[in-house]
Each structure stands twice: as structure tokens, then as C-alpha cells.
Amino acid sequence: LTEEEIDLLCGAYYMEKNVGQPGKRMSWWPKPNIWRHSGLDVGYWSSGCEKWFQDRKERIRKGDAHLKSTEAWRS
């Protein structure tokens, strides 16, 4: 996939706080490079992955989740 396609699938946005200031890429879902280094990447889609996905999706639907930066996804 291209970087643009990955951004689309992850719900990524480029957010600027102030005009002229550098912005940050924020996303609803972690990008593949972040996922690979997470504790959930066990080489297959496990029940733990599914639970995490369903919980995150539900929090997004309820308005309880927020966009995260790359740094926030890593922590």
C-alpha cells in the first residue's frame, strides 16, 4: 500500500495547532509500523487483537476516543 492509502485506512489527518507552526499527523488507528512494535502483534489476528479493536471502535462511536499522534500510539 502507498502511504496515502495507509493514512486513509487508519483515519489519519494532518493537524496544525497554529498557522505557520509544524503540525502533527493524527489517526484513529495505529499505522502498521506502530502495530508491528506493539504487544498485540503476535503474527496473527488474535482474540486479544479483536477485543482491542472492538473496544477502540466502540469508544470512537461513543465519542470517548480521540485522534492520537504517532508518539501517543507508541506509549
Residues 2-61: tens digit of each pLDDT: 999 999 999 999 988 777 778 899 999 999 999 999 999 999 999 999 999 999 999 999
Distance CA 50, CA 44 (A): 11
Q: 38 by DSSP, 3-state: which?
A: coil
Nearest to 17 by CA among 27, 26, 28: 26
pTM of the model: 0.84
Q: What is the CB neighbour count within 10 angstroms for residue 61?
A: 9
Nearest to 40 by CA among 31, 57, 52: 52
**CB–CB of 68/26 below 8 Å?**
yes
